[in-house]
Amino acid sequence: MKNMDQKSLICDFIGAAFCLIMALALFLACSGCSGDLNSTPLAQDGGYTEETAMLKNISVAGKVRMNGMNSDTTQIRIPLRGFAKGSVVSLYELDSVSFDMTGVAFTDTVDNDDGEFRFRDVTLKSPYAKMVVMVNKDEVVRLDSYFGSHSLSSIVDVRDTHSITLDLFSFIENYRLSSLLKAGVPFEEAKKQVRREVLDALGIYEFPERDDDYMAMESVMMSVLSSLLGVSFDVLLGEEGPYARMNDNQKNILVKDVVRHVDFLKRMLSVPQGFFDRAGERVAMEYQSMLLREKYFAGILSAVLGAGRCTASQEGSVVDVNEHGYRIVCRSENWHISNKVVDHEFGTVTDSRDGRVYKTVTINFENGPQTWMAENLKYNGVELEKTSCFDDDDFYCDIYGRLYDWEVATRMVGKFFKSNFASVEQCEEFFSTMEEIQDSLSVEEWCERSMSRDEYILDYQSLIFDSATVVQGVCPEGWRIPTFDDWETLLQNVDRLWNIMVNEGDFLTATPSIEEPLGLGLYNVVRPKTDGDAEQVMEIVRSDYIAIPVNTEMYRARPGGSVNVPSIFLDHSVMGYSGEFRSLFVRCIKN
């Protein structure tokens, strides 16, 4: 077992994606796209002729939004509000042939938290207009960091029967649509072409109709573009097919970046769904959006790798993505991200003490099988002391399992823990030359606290464990507390089979959409809190699992330390030794 330093994977899932706009002038100099993608224009041929009457006293409605989550290694941030009030939206009439501005313009101001706007009593000679929003000062810094711009824009047909959407995706599409219109492609045909090219680049077959689906697609598309700074849309899209003009190096860069985003998405999804459902409707919707992003990332990989369309005849087809075992699998006529899977079989075990049924998994490694519980223990017998729920909330016991004191869980109360001093008097004598010790405590107060059981240290010299030790502890009959050798076997196999020398924690955590390589059902524990009125923040908290040592040397892992490691920790992406003794999860292994 390696004791690893935490690797900080700072992956702002959307923010990083939008950094492409810092070089937007180079990136989209020759192309781009725009338009309301959720629309069905009434005009059929694109041109506006004298046979079409002037548009008089019409209303043009729409919505401005900033999409995406902003997160780092330890927090998931979900926006809970719309676009900022005070943003000014302008409508500029465009000539129906040249698509140049005619000089006719109207303005409106967003006066609500949902980003909605409406132009009333608008009269135009042409049905085509460029919509531009100058963002409120509260959004300027965020938008500047993505675009180097204070505005979003889109070209629309005001005869559209749907509400117009102005967002980051429509801003980028505006460039591609503008290029096609300037080349003489009729408006409706140009919009259809842009839509088709985008779908091909995403490896999906139908344009999302629901707003949440669309926003998920938008954020994924932005993530892809962030990998291709300096690569024009003529390379990314085009009649020849998506990515057709990209060289192998560009494709490799794109695949690696998509995998990086998938890794981060997997971390956000490796939380039991019950938590998202309890956190409120907006958070539950974001959970579903994250599942959609996995689908869209799989589609991008299928397009870049030339996997073709997933059809019923291709069901079960597999395409390898990288050397770490990532692959895409064709299931139900859509590509899905998966891992190379070690043969494992699921089962169940019933705890005779309370009748609770647990899911189990037997993993058939080449060096021998292991059978684990595929969920954390929830036993809370009357004979137990010091069991609790995360954040003292019974709800979390249901989704995470119970937390146990190490001594209680191993049934070793009083056997291997002791105080530094034989008595309070001995402690006071030792510190007699000091007035205060720590936290402004007197010597007497400090010694009383240090002599309490909660302050006991592990007496590692009295340990007699070896690799054959069987400690049932709080586990059901026939099951036991895993040893460090059990965990070591697991992680060594991960390193060997998937070339994962670090970040085993991320690799082993469970997600609902990405198939687990081992079926262990490990997951991240999160603590919810609200960051003002703007965001719901879910902070990932380190979780520790009780383990039994196999020799006393394992307790000398910290240089100069004598109080060391009775457990294994899962800290976001890292697994290693822990110094925690209390508030630990139990994951039982079969004898």
pLDDT digits (tens, 9 = 90+) for 487-523: 888 888 888 888 776 677 777 887 877 878 888 988 8
Q: Which of 212, 131, 222 is nearest to 174 (CA)?
A: 131
Q: Is the residue at 349 inside a domain?
A: no
Q: Is the residue at 311 inside a domain?
A: yes
Q: Is the residue at 221 inside a domain?
A: yes
pLDDT band at 553; cut points 50, 70, 90: low
pTM of the model: 0.70
> Alpha-carbon distance 332 to 316, whole Å?
9
HSE (CB half, 13 Å, CA atoms) of 411? 11
Dihedral angle of Cα 95, 101, 105, 110, to the nearest 10 degrees: 110
**407 shares a domain with 288:** no
**51 shares a domain with 175:** yes
Q: How many Å is the maximal CA-CA distance in the chain?
A: 103
In the prediction, which pLDDT does 222 show? 67
Beta strands of 65-135 (E only): which ranges? 75-79, 88-94, 101-109, 116-124, 128-134
**98 shares a domain with 194:** yes
> Alpha-carbon distance 48 to 186, whole Å?
10
Q: Which of 406, 436, 455 is the last residue of a domain?
A: 455
**281 shares a domain with 148:** yes
Give the percent of the chain with pLDDT over 90.
Answer: 20
In the prediction, which pLDDT does 465 show? 66
pLDDT band at 70; cut points 50, 70, 90: very low
Q: Is the residue at 469 inside a domain?
A: yes
**223 shares a domain with 154:** yes
Q: Which of 278, 303, 338 is the last residue of a domain?
A: 338
**433 shares a domain with 410:** no
In the prediction, which pLDDT does 225 show? 63
Q: How many angstroms from the chain centroid is the CA of residue 422? A: 50
Tell me, what amino acid is at 60? V
**95 shares a domain with 30:** yes
In the prediction, which pLDDT does 46 show? 38
**295 shares a domain with 189:** yes
Residue 444: Cβ within 10 Å count: 12
**408 shares a domain with 309:** no
Tens-place pLDDT, residues 2-33: 443 333 222 332 333 333 222 322 223 333 33
**522 shares a domain with 399:** yes
C-beta pairs of 351-355 under 8 Å, 24+ apart in sequence? 351/379, 351/476, 352/476, 352/477, 353/379, 353/381, 353/476, 354/379, 354/380, 354/381
In the prediction, which pLDDT does 466 show? 64
Whether pLDDT at 73 is above 70: no
In the prediction, which pLDDT does 362 show? 97
Tokens 């939004």, located at residue? 65
**321 shares a domain with 258:** yes
Strand partners, 335: 330
Count of structural domains, the chain? 3
Top pLDDT among 543 and 93 is at 93
Q: Is the residue at 579 inside a domain?
A: yes
Mean pLDDT value across the chain: 75
**375 shares a domain with 319:** no
> Alpha-carbon distance 92 to 59, whole Å?
14
Helix/strand/coil for 461: helix
Q: Which of 338, 373, 389 is the last residue of a domain?
A: 338
Q: Is the residue at 428 inside a domain?
A: yes
Its domain, for residue 371, covers: 360-416+461-590
Contacts of 100 (CB under 8 A, 6+ apart): 94
Q: Is the residue at 353 inside a domain?
A: no
pLDDT band at 318; cut points 50, 70, 90: very high
Question: What tokens were used for 516?
Answer: 């687990």
Q: Is the residue at 351 inside a domain?
A: no
